[in-house]
Chains A and B, each alone.
Chain A
């Protein structure tokens, strides 16, 4: 029963964007410029300014030259636009170890994110499918452990994973990190897929069974084609989550494989040399660009993804 409750909760949160059209509540504004309207919009605009300010400052800082930054104020638009900081951030900023900029981190992150996303979604969707349609004895126990495990702080499991990876010879490599992302993505993704599959009409499943389709046949021919939206949601969740990861990257890879976030932190917080704030901000924008792009392109699906992710915590 609790599973049903969970399902409902997820479904409810997942419907957030769609139901927004249906109904803001509260009293209808009477005049266009009543005090209430002014207060509501005034507060919202101030809040929006607060949220936008850091993005704005990031962008203007990255387009200024260092002399201008030293003299001027951070909110002023650049007098003279220069793209040099961007070039330097990408190709020649120093991390203390090497001086080839963020590009190395970017490609590492791509090599981490792409396989991690594909593998974790493949495994989790099959898990969810098995859990909702092919339940076997004991399956719920594993699932419960998985969900409870999602709340355990990562720090508790870090060292045991280091030992396991070292035993199988993958500690420090990119494949090791892909495994780690697959493991920690599993609880939320499995929950997501299990609830989605449980919500599909069971007649479909029964009919396919009668027609003689087996476990894999039903999965590939019925479940996957019918669940493309949830695959997209899972993808958004994983791409942003894995791209933004810092802890696993720093623990489980060698410096030459550091993902972009780690590389960025090493560039900006490196103690040697003069601080080049414009290069730092350009590097920061570059690192944030991928998840931001995913966010702006996916819009409502992103909200759905984080609402689903939020249920897990």
Chain B
């Protein structure tokens, strides 16, 4: 580890007592909540717990029930659609905005403030604003119709086949500013000489971006990807505020399934199994990244 850390390390156990006492909350959190809590949930997902957690093991019953529940399947499908589109769109929009901001423009701060402010708002606020904007009777649809295009249809929140895209619009509004900021930081980290060299060689700007700059920004893209992806799995508040999972079950997501089964339907086993599936989803995203980033025998300096 770092040298200043070694400097402060006392030789005897007792001399470091204050540090250990001061770290008790951290140890408790790490061991009891993060480690213990996770194990507890995983173990109880194999039980038949209903109203109260009981250690009566039933093997994979809860998972079988979960994967045959239409609501869970809809949730997973929604999460997949929402996840893929929000990854693609937020990356593309975020990068394009960052590239535009990087053109020696005026009012850069003003633009950044505008693009980023939705990120300061809660998902509840975001969801409710977009619920209003997408309201078919008063919102965008009615305005366009009033302008003369009577057949115009845009009511994603009331149409079960496209409702998830209505949520996607709100999510992109809230989150692309952050991606833009991260991308802009990455772009500013590119050496000026790269640009000079490509200009000398007469390479068009878009080609430089596509074949030189973007490959150089790989770490930024990976970090952004992990950030967006772990946020996607958690999506909950936005759906609650915007549609409450409706119409019907058309916009349900896994996090909501967990909450509803744990705290409303009194069916703990299902909630545990569903949350364990969420954990596995995150692990699938995080483990390869962590391996590439920190492990694999390659030491980062």
Contacts and interface: CB of A to CB of B under 8 A. Distances in A.
B56 interface: no
Contacts of A152: 34, 38, 279, 282
Interface stretch (A93-101, A110-118, A285-293): A285-293
Interface stretch (B58-66, B103-111, B148-156, B157-165): B103-111
Interface of A: 1-5, 9, 12-13, 16, 19-20, 22-29, 36, 40-41, 43-44, 47-48, 50-55, 57-58, 61, 69-70, 73-75, 123, 126-127, 129-136, 139-140, 142-143, 145-146, 148-149, 151-161, 163-164, 182-183, 186, 190, 198, 202, 205-206, 209, 214-216, 240, 243-247, 251, 261, 264-265, 268-269, 277, 280-281, 284, 287-288, 291-292, 294-296, 299, 302-303, 306-307, 310-311, 313
A139 B31 CA distance: 12
B73 interface: no
Interface of B: 1-10, 16, 18-20, 22-23, 25-27, 29-38, 40-42, 44, 53, 96-97, 100-105, 108, 111-125, 128-133, 135, 138-140, 142-143, 146, 173, 177-178, 181-182, 184-185, 187-190, 192, 195, 199, 205, 223, 226-227, 230-231, 233-234, 236-237, 240-241, 244, 255, 258-259, 262-263, 268, 271-272, 274-276, 278-279, 282, 286, 290, 294, 299-301
A156 B278 contact: yes
B105 A13 contact: no
A16 B53 CA distance: 48
B20 A136 contact: yes
Given A264-B125, A277-B138, A12 B111 contact: no
A24 B120 contact: no
A53 to B, nearest CB: 8
Given A156-B38, A157-B33, A4 B286 contact: no
- Most chain B beta carbons < 10 A, residue from A245, A251, A288: A288
A123 B26 contact: yes
B143 to A, nearest CB: 5
Tell me if A's interface is mostly helix, strand, loop or mixed. helix
30 contacts: A16-B181, A25-B188, A27-B205, A51-B117, A57-B129, A57-B132, A74-B139, A74-B143, A131-B23, A134-B8, A145-B34, A146-B29, A146-B30, A148-B34, A149-B33, A152-B282, A155-B278, A156-B279, A159-B44, A160-B41, A186-B26, A202-B4, A247-B259, A265-B124, A277-B132, A284-B125, A288-B125, A292-B117, A302-B116, A313-B227
A25 B102 contact: yes
Contacts of A41: 105
B235 to A, nearest CB: 10
Nearest to B23: A130
B84 to A, nearest CB: 19
A26 B103 contact: yes
Contact of A306 (B119, B129, B255): B119
Given A74-B138, A159-B53, 8 more contacts: A4-B301, A23-B192, A25-B102, A47-B115, A159-B40, A244-B123, A281-B132, A288-B121
Contacts of A183: 29, 33
Given A23-B188, A74-B143, A284-B129, A146 B26 contact: yes
Given A27-B205, A51-B173, A142-B31, A190 B189 contact: no
Contacts of A23: 188, 192
B143 A73 contact: yes
A265 to B, nearest CB: 5
A126 B24 CA distance: 11
A149 B259 contact: no
A2 B138 contact: no
A79 to B, nearest CB: 16
Contacts of B16: 134, 136
B19 A70 contact: no
B104 A142 contact: no
A143 B275 CA distance: 24
B282 A153 contact: yes
A284 B128 contact: yes
Contacts of B182: 13, 307, 310
Contacts of B173: 50-51, 54
Nearest to B294: A2
A122 to B, nearest CB: 10
Given A183-B29, A281-B132, A307-B182, A215 B123 contact: no
A4 B9 CA distance: 18
B278 A153 contact: yes
A311 to B, nearest CB: 7
Contacts of A216: 18
B115 A48 contact: yes
B234 A291 contact: no
A164 B32 CA distance: 10
B223 to A, nearest CB: 7
Contact of B33 (A1, A12, A161): A161
